[in-house]
Amino acid sequence: AQTVTQSQPEMSVQEAETVTLSCTYDTSESNYYLFWYKQPPSRQMILVIRQEAYKQQNATENRFSVNFQKAAKSFSLKISDSQLGDTAMYFCAFLYGNKLVFGAGTILRVKS
Amino acid sequence: DTAVSQTPKYLVTQMGNDKSIKCEQNLGHDTMYWYKQDSKKFLKIMFSYNNKELIINETVPNRFSPKSPDKAHLNLHINSLELGDSAVYFCASRLTGSSYEQYFGPGTRLTVT
Helices (H) and strands (E) in chain A, counts: 0, 12
Cross-chain Cβ contact A100/B55 below 8 Å: no
B6 touching A (Cβ < 8 Å): no
Asked if pLDDT for residue B11 goes beyond 80, the answer is yes
Q: Which chain B residues are within 8 Å of A4, Cβ to Cβ?
A: none
Q: pLDDT at residue A10 above 70?
A: yes
- Per the CB < 8 A criterion, the answer to whether B4 and B103 are in contact is yes
Q: What 8-state DSSP symbol labels residue B84? A: G
Radius of gyration of chain A from its Cα atoms, rounded to whole angstroms:
13
Cα B101 to chain centroid, rounded: 17
pLDDT band at residue B38, thresholds of 50, 70 and 90? very high
* Average pLDDT estimate for A70-87: 96
**CA A4, CA B45: separation in Å to the nearest integer?**
14
Three-state DSSP class for residue B87? strand
| Interchain contact, B48 vs A99, CB within 8 Å | yes
Is there a contact between A43 and B88 if contact means CB atoms under 8 Å apart? yes
pLDDT at A101: 92
The pLDDT of A98-108, averaged and rounded, is: 93
